[in-house]
Amino acid sequence: MAPLVKYTTLFINNQWVDAKSGKTFETFSPNDGSVIARVSEGDKADIDLAVSAAKAAFHRNSEWRLLDASARGRLLNKFAELVERDIQYLGELESYNNGMVLGMAVGIVQKSINGARYAASLADKIQGDTIPADGDLFSYTLKQPVGVCGLILPWNAPILMFINKVCTALAAGCTVVVKPAEQTPLTSLALAALLKEAGVPAGVVNVVTGFGPGAGTSLTHHPDVAKISFTGSLEVGKHIQQAAGKTNLKRVTLELGGKSPLVIMNDADLKLAVPFAARGVFGNQGQMCFAASRLFVQSGIYEQFVEEAVEFAKNIKVGNPVDPGVEHGPQVDREMMAKVLGYIEKGKQEGAKLMCGGKRIGSTGYFIEPTVFVDVQDDMIIAREEIFGPVQSIFKFETLDEVIERANNTNYGLASGIFTNNINNALHFARHVEAGNVWINTYLASTAQTPFGGFKDSGVGREKGIDCVDEYLEVKTVTISLQKEF
């Protein structure tokens, strides 16, 4: 049975309200293309209201600003408890609207709860320094919340993105306006209801559903927004950085995907490497910023690896994401499905060898077969652009130095990995690869405690980890004269 959809309107100042224009848009189930609900289409007028609520909630005398830091932490822990209470429902709603396999969706909600608790634990540990400044001076620093933050979310892991960004911003003491992706508005609204239930004061968290042009651009251009945190495409990330400089100088955190290399050395344990490489690119139907979309296999094991990788891909169980045993659901929407199928065609045209998959499955829902290409060359389009779909591209290499050079030959730099039993080779790779994350004999291992973000075009700033709140803080230096007349 489909999960109940309880909220479909905007959430501003702890109230559920229609868009000023009265407009709504349809949201779909990618499993069969059916309409789930109509959701309010927020635009500039609604963003203005939401930002003004967030600004009022940020006033120095507001209930929120006067809360003890430890009380902010307790509110976030209360929220984490409520998410845990509703974990099954939230997982089902995520799966329904996004197409994520249910078991994975529930697992990601659990990961998000860990993130919320981690952020909660940081709320009362935001401390400045005392500084031995030259002269008869005493200096100390205060770390203070930056202000109203615009949080723009993607559709590939909506709950995780919402909880990580919102809880970090709130731990820092900021107030926020969230703009979920148009494909997946429902779980953000459900989470807003839980924040209200937890007791977060009005105006601290606002959610405006709608489109990028419209709600998104109004947020990035708003003069009262101090910071934007965005996860999504490189193209929009560049727009956001420009918009952020237009009205006021907004701080930006950008997480923009990648073309991440995973290297399998001759001495790797294939029983580990084959499944990790597969899950690293087929997980969530390949809709992962850190997907291992360039798989480099050393020549000594190339043939054997390819054989096992193709066998693995062929045996992935595709189907309705809520059915038990299903490992692979639909792409999020028709547009993304078409984009991925387009890349598969380009791969074939450019001479990469298709070993399995490559086609859409059925005609309702947006399913694509897990696809493996071999003999992929570095200059092919499928080797350079982010596909964001279930396409494993396998490259052959001879030496570690060669593969580091080729791994770094990309504008992206989000994640990377290496499977080897030689510690020196692993650490040499870790030192020289240009990526924000390096996984050794594992892949996709990212927790609340570990910083996440990209080099180069993969983004600006880091999320998660002990310094994550710094992205939402300003440092204020206070200097006092200690000069005394004797």
* Least separation in angstroms between CB 414 and ligand NAI: 8
Integer angstrom CA distances of residue 351 from 257, 281, 338: 26, 21, 20
Gap between the terminal Cα atoms of the chain: 82
* Least separation in angstroms between CB 138 and ligand NAI: 44
Among 18-26, 30-38, 146-154, 272-280, the segment contacting ligand NAI (CB under 6 A) = 146-154
- 153 near ligand NAI, judged by CB under 6 A: yes
Positive or negative, the CA dihedral 143, 73, 165, 390 is positive
Among 37-45, 88-96, 141-149, 215-223, the segment contacting ligand NAI (CB under 6 A) = 215-223
Positive or negative, the CA dihedral 461, 467, 469, 474 is negative
- 239 near ligand NAI, judged by CB under 6 A: yes
Among 6-14, 81-89, 112-120, 177-185, the segment contacting ligand NAI (CB under 6 A) = 177-185
Q: From the list 217, 293, 298, 437, which residue makes contact with ligand NAI (rule: CB under 6 A)?
A: 217
Query: Is residue 431 packed enough to be buried (19+ CB in 10 Å), middle (13-18) or exposed (0-12)?
Result: exposed
* Least separation in angstroms between CB 336 and ligand NAI: 6
Nearest CA to 11 among 225, 165, 189, 153?
Answer: 189
- 329 near ligand NAI, judged by CB under 6 A: no
Quote the CA–CA distance of 255 and 311 in Å, as a whole number. Answer: 33
Give, for 39, the enclosing helix (H) or strand (E).
strand 35-40
Quote the CA–CA distance of 378 and 261 in Å, as a whole number. Answer: 12
- 108 near ligand NAI, judged by CB under 6 A: no
Give, for 52, the enclosing helix (H) or strand (E).
helix 44-57
Phi, psi at 394, each rounded to 5°:
-110, 130
Among 16-24, 37-45, 104-112, 213-221, the segment contacting ligand NAI (CB under 6 A) = 213-221
- 156 near ligand NAI, judged by CB under 6 A: yes
Q: From the list 205, 274, 289, 337, which residue makes contact with ligand NAI (rule: CB under 6 A)?
A: 289
Q: From the list 3, 115, 201, 232, which residue makes contact with ligand NAI (rule: CB under 6 A)?
A: 232
- 236 near ligand NAI, judged by CB under 6 A: yes
- 182 near ligand NAI, judged by CB under 6 A: yes
Cβ atoms of 56 and 48 closer than 8 Å? no
For ligand NAI, the closer of residues 203 and 216 by Cβ is 216
Strand arrangement, sheet containing 137-145: 130-131, 137-145, 473-481
Cβ atoms of 113 and 80 closer than 8 Å? yes
For ligand NAI, the closer of residues 155 and 397 by Cβ is 155
- 388 near ligand NAI, judged by CB under 6 A: yes
- List CB contacts of 169: < 8 A, sequence separation 6 or more: 149, 151, 175, 176, 229, 472
Here's the x/- map for ligand NAI, 68-107, by CB under 6 A: it reads as: ----------------------------------------
Which three-class secondary structure state does DSSP give residue 415?
A: strand
Integer angstrom CA distances of residue 172 from 119, 163, 168, 351: 9, 14, 6, 51
For ligand NAI, the closer of residues 181 and 404 by Cβ is 181
Integer angstrom CA distances of residue 109 from 82, 114, 115, 159, 160: 12, 9, 10, 7, 7
- 256 near ligand NAI, judged by CB under 6 A: yes
- 370 near ligand NAI, judged by CB under 6 A: no
What is the number of the residue whose Cβ is closest to ligand NAI?
212
Cβ atoms of 297 and 256 closer than 8 Å? no
Tokens of 431: 């030192």
* Least separation in angstroms between CB 155 and ligand NAI: 6
Residues taking part in catalysis: 255, 289
- 308 near ligand NAI, judged by CB under 6 A: no
- 186 near ligand NAI, judged by CB under 6 A: no
Q: From the list 72, 165, 179, 251, which residue makes contact with ligand NAI (rule: CB under 6 A)?
A: 179
Q: How many residues bind ligand NAI (CB under 6 A)?
A: 28
* Least separation in angstroms between CB 236 and ligand NAI: 4
- 31 near ligand NAI, judged by CB under 6 A: no
Q: From the list 91, 154, 173, 357, which residue makes contact with ligand NAI (rule: CB under 6 A)?
A: 154
Tokens of 446: 């990212």
Quote the CA–CA distance of 7 and 27 in Å, as a whole number. Answer: 12
- 181 near ligand NAI, judged by CB under 6 A: yes
Q: From the list 216, 280, 365, 370, which residue makes contact with ligand NAI (rule: CB under 6 A)?
A: 216
* Least separation in angstroms between CB 182 and ligand NAI: 5
Quote the CA–CA distance of 444 and 456 in Å, as a whole number. Answer: 20
Bridge-based pairing of strands 261-264 and 415-419 is: parallel
Integer angstrom CA distances of residue 305 from 267, 274, 308, 402, 470: 12, 7, 5, 19, 43
* Least separation in angstroms between CB 290 and ligand NAI: 8
Instruction: Tell me which residues touch ligand NAI (CB under 6 A).
Output: 152-156, 179, 181-182, 211-213, 216-217, 220, 231-233, 236, 239-240, 255-257, 289, 336, 339, 386, 388
